[in-house]
Amino acid sequence: MIRDVLRMGDPRLLERSREVTAFDTAELHALLLRAARFELHRRRALPYAEAEDLALQAANDAMVALLRKLDTFRGQSRFTTWAYKFALLEAGVKA
C-alpha cells in the first residue's frame, strides 16, 4: 500500500499512509482485542475464559478483515476509529 501511495503522489494519501503505518501489528491487535472485549461485555455476560476466547477470535478475525480492506481506508476518520469498528462488528457476530 505504501508504494501505491507514493506512486500516486497525493499528499493526503501520503499523510494517511503515515498514520496507518504508525501502528505496528501488535498495537493494532491490542486495540482490536480491547474493542472486542468491550462489545462482548456490552452484549452478554459470559464466564471470563469464554469471553476472553471469543474476544481473541473476534480480534483475530477483525485483523484479517481490516488488512484485506486496508486500501479502502479513505481517511474521513482516524485510522483507529475505522479499525475499532471491525472488532465491534466481529464481536457482535460472535456474541
pLDDT at 91 over 90: yes
Q: CB burial class (10 A; 0-12, 13-18, 19+) of residue 73?
A: middle
pLDDT class for 92, splitting at 50, 70, 90?
A: very high
Sign of the Cα torsion 39, 41, 46, 49 reads positive
pLDDT at 12 over 70: no
Residue 9 main-chain phi, psi, to 5 deg: 75, 5
pLDDT at 9 over 90: no
Better-predicted residue by pLDDT, 45 or 33: 33
pTM > 0.75: no
For the chain, how big is the Rg over CA atoms in Å?
Answer: 15
